[in-house]
């Protein structure tokens, strides 16, 4: 690029222009029609193939009948993405004719993909909303719900922070902005930096409804505006690990040894519980929820086999290995 006080630019362009014409004329001689005749069908073929793949992704049942490879698109909750990946990998080892592609993006993203027919399974860390069901029905989709695992949401802080336990009410006051300094709840004199997942995360919505609003549907309290909305679970873990002011929440499966997990009680005067498989199974830990997979209508064919396998002993073994809580069937 030439900018500034230049005066020879016009001439230069003129010279380049004639050279270009000559070059193009020469190359036009070289291009024979034959090449076009060969390339065009090839190109069309590629387009057709990619199109067919998409079709198969949407109709796993049909593909199974025709005896070819079965493609499934599994999309949604970031909380579940590791779990879904492990399931998909193990299942593909057992059934080489099946290929399952797993992507995250958040529960909302997954459900949107199910509605737009670009995914055959939507992973969800919250229940599907009435509006989403309505929208799905409008597009000819009947969302079918299956609880595939349970998850506890761990509240985490930096290891240097002396706080060990909080009540749900305190958590609600922190995230709605009523408590702004750790000293107000018996900690050091430090500002509280609140971390949350983005609003497209099922975990965000669950935390809003069950913790900030304490499960009260008429409560309209929301996250205070200065809550940091981070795009990934890892982002939250990194910031909590490094920053002694920070508080965050994340699925139990993501929590590492680098951060401190808080014990939570439902109300002051009630006992505090740390999140783990036992406390979640006995419904003692107050911030636990179901994890879902949604399909279009009652699953059939290969899709049904896959979902059955997920609920089998082997599938649920993986749930436990990854720090989630198995569902009792």
Partner 1 sequence: MAAKSQKITGALITKGIQFSGFSSILFVLLIMFFLFYQGIPALFDVPLGDLFSQRWYPIESLYGIVPLILGSLIVTLGASLIAVPFGVITAIYIAEIAPRWLAEIMKPLVELLAGLPSVVLGFLGILIVSPFLRDVLNLPTGLTAFTGSLLLGGIAIPTIVSISEDALKNVPVSYRQGSYALGVTQWQTIWSVTVPAARRGILTAIMLGLGRTIGETMTVMMVTGNAPVMPASFMALFMPIRTMTATIASEMGEVAGGSPHYHVLFFIGLILFLFTLAVNIVVSRISTQQLKRSERILS
Please, what is the minimum distance in Å from the beta carbon of residue 319 to partner 1?
Answer: 25
- Site residues for partner 1, 267-326, by CB under 8 A, read none
**135 contributes a contact to partner 1 by CB under 8 A:** yes
Stretch binding partner 1 (CB under 8 A), from 110-118, 167-175, 256-264, 268-276? 110-118
Q: Smaller CB distance to partner 1: residue 95 or 103?
A: 103
**143 contributes a contact to partner 1 by CB under 8 A:** no
Stretch binding partner 1 (CB under 8 A), from 26-34, 61-69, 78-86, 310-318? 26-34
**11 contributes a contact to partner 1 by CB under 8 A:** no
**214 contributes a contact to partner 1 by CB under 8 A:** no
Please, what is the minimum distance in Å from the beta carbon of residue 82 to partner 1?
Answer: 19
Q: Smaller CB distance to partner 1: residue 2 or 18?
A: 2
**How many binding residues for partner 1 (CB under 8 A)?**
48
**SS3 track for the chain:** CCCCCCCCHHHHHHHHHHHHHHHHHHHHHHCCHHHHHHHHHHHHHHHHHHHHHHHHHHCHHHHHHCCCCEEEEEEECCCCHHHHHHHHHHHHHHCCCEEEEEECCCHHHHHHHHHCCCCCEEEECCCCCHHHHHHHHHCCCCEEEEEEEEEEEEEEECCCCCCCEEEHHHHHHHHHCCCCEHHHHCCCCCECEEEEECCCCHHHHHHHHHHHCCCCCCCCCCCCCCCEEECCHHHHHHHHHHCCCEEEEEEHHHCCCCCEECEEECCCCCCCECCCHHHHHCCCCCCEEEEEEEEECCCCHHHHHHHHHHHCHHHHHHHHHCCCECCCC
- Site residues for partner 1, 222-241, by CB under 8 A, read 222-223, 225-231, 235, 238-239
**Pattern of binders to partner 1 over 179-198, x per CB under 8 A?**
-----------xx-x----x
Residues at the interface with partner 1 (CB under 8 A):
1-7, 24-25, 28-29, 31, 33, 105-106, 108-109, 112, 115-116, 131-132, 135, 190-191, 193, 198-200, 205, 208, 220, 222-223, 225-231, 235, 238-239, 242-243, 245-246
């Amino acid at each position: 690029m030439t900018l500034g006080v230049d005066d020879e630019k016009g001439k230069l362009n003129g010279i380049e222009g004639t050279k270009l014409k000559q070059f193009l004329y020469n190359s036009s001689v070289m291009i024979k029609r034959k090449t076009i005749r060969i390339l065009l069908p090839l190109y069309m073929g590629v387009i057709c193939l990619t199109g067919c793949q998409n079709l198969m992704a949407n109709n796993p049942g049909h593909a199974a009948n025709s005896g070819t490879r079965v493609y499934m698109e599994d999309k949604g909750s970031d909380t579940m993405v590791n779990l879904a990946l492990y399931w998909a990998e193990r299942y593909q080892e057992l059934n080489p004719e099946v290929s399952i592609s797993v992507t995250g993006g958040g529960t909302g993203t997954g459900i949107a993909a199910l509605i737009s027919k670009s995914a055959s399974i939507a992973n969800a860390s919250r229940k599907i909303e009435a509006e989403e069901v309505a929208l799905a029905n409008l597009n000819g989709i009947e969302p079918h719900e299956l609880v595939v695992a349970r998850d506890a949401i761990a509240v985490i802080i930096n290891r240097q922070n002396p706080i060990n336990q909080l009540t749900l009410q305190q958590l609600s006051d922190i995230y709605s902005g009523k408590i702004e300094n750790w000293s107000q709840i018996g900690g050091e004199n430090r500002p509280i930096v609140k971390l949350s997942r983005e609003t497209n995360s099922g975990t965000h919505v669950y935390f809003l409804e069950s913790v900030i609003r304490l499960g009260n549907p008429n409560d309209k309290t929301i996250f205070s505006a200065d809550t940091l909305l981070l795009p990934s679970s890892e982002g939250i873990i990194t910031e909590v690990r490094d920053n002694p002011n920070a508080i965050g929440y994340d699925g139990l499966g993501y929590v590492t040894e680098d951060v401190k997990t808080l014990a939570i009680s439902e109300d002051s005067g009630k006992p505090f519980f740390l999140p783990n498989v036992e406390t979640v199974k006995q419904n003692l830990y107050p911030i636990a929820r179901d994890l879902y997979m949604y399909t279009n209508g009652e699953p059939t064919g290969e899709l049904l086999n896959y979902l059955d396998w997920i609920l089998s002993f082997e599938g649920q073994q993986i749930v436990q290995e990854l720090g989630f809580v198995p569902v009792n069937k």
